Homo-oligomer: A and B are copies of this chain.
């Protein structure tokens, strides 16, 4: 009786999808909220942000705490992400095939090119870094496996968007954040860039994320030819690009070779 009514009046935020376990979806939303607003949140803030009754939010958070996904700072009473998530996250890395197949090829690419190498995949419209090899030289760099990069301002990201029209549309619908003067922010230019990437089979980014830095990336295809990720290198503009401000052909070849090698490994895999 009130089923249909409730479904019709629902805020449309939670669509009456075939069989979504409500409490789990809410729990996931809380975890994402805690992850995004880095820091500690109180029950009240959580409940307000997700438009949940305080009691309900508390029940979910308590359970998340029991399973170790959430921790509570006993003095302030506020909540933050829990340690169990760290282990789950790295467990994901162990299983992730894109990563495991890439490792063997990422190191040589870094060695040959002399630049830092990253492998990423699309997660929720952003670039999730699943592997990262430091630039061979000593300089201290921070490992950013697990972090999210902007898709429109990185070589890897643009390559991934080029082969995922859905994600590309989503990005263009939103307002891409400008990081430098050269960051692509309009849907028109981005769309053109993606078309060019599809034609060439590789993509680049020059000072669109940070001044003085550039990157080159190529798509990695999995079983069936679907693009499942991208591999790319990044470094100072004067090393990555030639005199004409174009990505050096030799580096492009390196990246494309690595991408092909990983794709071959992935395509051959079966069970």
**Chain A interface residues toward B at CB < 8 A:** 17, 19-21, 23-25, 27-29, 31-32, 34-35, 38-40, 59-60, 62-64, 66-69, 75-76, 80-96, 121, 123-124, 128, 130, 143, 145-148, 223, 270-271
Q: Tell me the complex Cα distance, A75–B32, Å.
A: 29
B66, B81, B96: which contacts A20 (Cβ < 8 A)?
B66
Q: Given A24-B27, A59-B21, A86–B81 Cβ distance below 8 Å?
A: no
Q: Which residue of B lies closest to A18 (CB)?
A: B62
Q: Given A20-B66, A123-B68, A223–B146 Cβ distance below 8 Å?
A: no
13 contacts between A and B (CB under 8 A): A20-B62, A21-B27, A23-B24, A25-B63, A25-B66, A27-B27, A28-B67, A28-B68, A76-B271, A85-B91, A86-B90, A89-B146, A90-B145
- Chain B residues near A34 (CB, 8 Å)? 91
B63 near A24 with CB under 8 A, answer yes
Q: Tell me the complex Cα distance, A89–B96, Å.
A: 15
Q: Given A27-B27, A39-B95, A67-B25, A128–B87 Cβ distance below 8 Å?
A: yes
Q: Given A24-B63, A90-B89, A95–B80 Cβ distance below 8 Å?
A: yes
B21 near A63 with CB under 8 A, answer yes
A67 near B24 with CB under 8 A, answer yes
- Chain B residues near A64 (CB, 8 Å)? 24, 28
